[in-house]
Structure 1
Amino acid sequence: MVQASENPQAKPDLPRTPRVTYRMTAPAAALTEAGTLAVFGFGAGTPEVDDPRWLRVPLECFDAPAPVEVWQVDGKVVCGRQHNVRWSAGGGWLFASIELDERETGGIEGAAQQAYAELRQFMRMRDERSVLRIWNYVADINLGDGDAERYKRFCDGRAAGLSDFFADGFPAATAIGHHHRDPVLQIYLLACLDDGASVENPRQTSAWRYPRQYGRTSPGFARGMLMPARDALAISGTAAVVGHASAHEGNLEAQLEETLLNLEALLATADMPAGFDTHSSLKAYVRHAVDAGRVGEMVRRRLPGVPVLLMHGDVCRRELLVEIDGWRFK
C-alpha cells in the first residue's frame, strides 16, 4: 500500500466504495436488497438470521431502537462459509468475519492467533486480498496489568496469527472492548481487488512505532485508509492521543474535542473535505454508560446532522473515555 500523498486523485475506473448506511429496517429486508454485502445488528436484542452476510455485533447501542448498518455494492453478491469464516463478495469487494469463544482457544491470545491465522489462510485463497479495514471486538479489553493486559495479549496473538501478511502495510482498524456475557472475540474486515492508500495523522505517532510501554507488540493499524477509487476514507478508531500519549485523563469533554481535532487532521492529510456531512457514517464508543447522554449532546452540537451511532464500548486504553471511527465519503 502506498501513502495517500502520492496519489490523492479520484480513480473512477476502480470499484466504488460500498455504501454504508444506518437504517431502521428488519435485517431480512435489508438482506434481500440488490447488492447487499453485509448487514450488522447491535446488542442482545438482535435476531438470529441464517445468512453469512448478517453479523450480530456484541456491543449495545444507546439508541433505542437501534438501527442496522448496511453495506451495499454495485454488483451481484455471493456468500458462503469456510470453516469458521463467514464471507460475501461482489463488485470487487469482500466481507469476511470470524467469531471465536476464548474458552475453546485457551484465552484471548490464543483466540486472536487462531482467528487471524484462519483469516490469513482464507484471504490467500481470494482474489480480493487487499485488506483495507478491520474491526476487532474483545471481551474485557482492559483487564490485567502490564503485559498481561488483555488488549496487549490480543496484539501479541494477532501478530502471531498474521505472520507477514501485512508486511507491505497495515489496514485501518478498530479494537473495542465489549460487555457480552460470553468471552467471544469477533473480527470482521473489508477487502478489495485493488489496493487503497494508508493515511497517517501528523498529530499522532504511527501505531506500529509506539514505544515499549504499550506492550511487547505494537498495535498494527493505519490511522486511515483511502479506498481504491479515492472516493472515501475509512477512519480507524480515533481517540484523544497526541503523539503516543493519552491526553486529558478524566476530562470527557476535552477528550472528545481532542478526538475531533485528530479527525480533522486526518481528513486534511487524506485530502478529504473538512468536516462531516449526512453521508458520513460514524460510531462513538463510550466507556461509561452514564456518559452517553453527554457524549450524544456534544456530538449533536459539534457534528450537526451527521449520523453517529452511540455504542457502549471500552477503548483499548483504560484512561480514554470515548473513541470515534467511521467513514468520510467525497
Structure 2
Amino acid sequence: MTTLSGCSSLPGGGGGGGTPNGDRASYDSWMAAGVSEPVNAFTLDLEVYRTLQEEGEGTQTQTETSSSMGTDPLAGIPATYLFAAALGLGFGLMRTGLASLVQQDGSAQRAHFVDNGIVLEGSFDVESVGSSVSGAGAQEVDSHAGATLYRNGSGSDATVISVSGDTAVVVRGGENVSDPMARIRRLLDANAGNTDRFRGESDDYDSLVTALPTRGIMAVTYSSDGGLFESGGGGGGGGGGGATSGLASFSDLDLSGNAVGGATSASFSTERLESSVAILYESESEVDAKADIEAAVGGEAASSSVTIDGRMVYVEGTYEDPNTGN
C-alpha cells in the first residue's frame, strides 16, 4: 500500500455494516450481450494511476507493496485489479498514440477494461488525438457510433482504435480477439445503446454490477456456471489489455459454497483503504456460514463487517495504516 501513499480521497463510503448503497459500475455500459463467460471487467479512476506515476513507483515496487496487503483478500483483490490496470495501461497503450491521455496532464478521467478492450473516458480534442494516433502508425479507415476508427496492421493481428470527443478505445487482435474491428464496434454499440447489453441477459450479473458504491477501483467477475472460489474461477484482472499479478483473487477465499460471481469496490487515501466485496451465491442454501466468511476475508482490517442478504454477501472493511494493512 505504500505505492498509494499520497492519493487523495475518492468517492465512496467505508464499511459501516449493513447493505451498502450501490451504484451501477461505469464499465457496465460497455458490456454488450453475447460476451463470453466468465465475464470480467474493471474500472480505474485515473487519479489513482497518476498518483502512482507521480510517486515514481515502478512495477516491481507495486508488486512488493501490494503483496504485503495481499494476505487479506478484502485488501488484496482490489490491489490485484490496481496492478492489472497499471500493466494494462502501460502495455496496452503502447504504440497507439494514446498514452499521453493517461499521463499527469492527460485529459482521460477513467479507464475501463472490458470485453478485451481498453476504454478511456474524458474530454478529448478529436483532431489532436486523431493526429497522435495517425502519427503512431494507424490509418483512418471508417467511422462508427460517432467515433472515428483507425487501424494499425491487418486481420486478426491488427490494433483498432476509436476516437471521439469523450472516449478513446483500443482493441488489439490476438488469441482472445480474432476480429478486433468487430469487437470495437460491439463496444461502441453497447455504450451508445445501439445493441443489447449483457445485463439484460443475466439478472445475477446485473445484481453484482449495482451492488457497491462508486470508488477508485471497481470490478466484477461472473460466470453462470459458478465456481468463483475454484482456481481459475474468477478474480483480479480479466477484461482487456491487462494481466493479473497473481496476488489475490476470489479463488483465494477459503470458502466452499458455489458462488456465481463477485464484485469489489475500493478507495485509497493517505490514511486508509476502504474496501468492499460482494459475493453472489448460486442459491441461499450455498451461502457459507457467516463465521466462515469472517474468517476468510477482512480479518486484517481495522474494522470490518459481514452482511448476508439472501444469496448476496457483503464484506466491508477499513485499513487505517496503508503501510502495514492494519
Global fold match (TM > 0.5): no
Structure with the larger helix share: 2
* Structure exhibiting the larger radius of gyration computed from Cα positions: 2
Which category describes the TM-score, using the shorter chain as reference length? Answer: under 0.3
Taking structure 1 as the reference length, the TM-score comes to 0.26
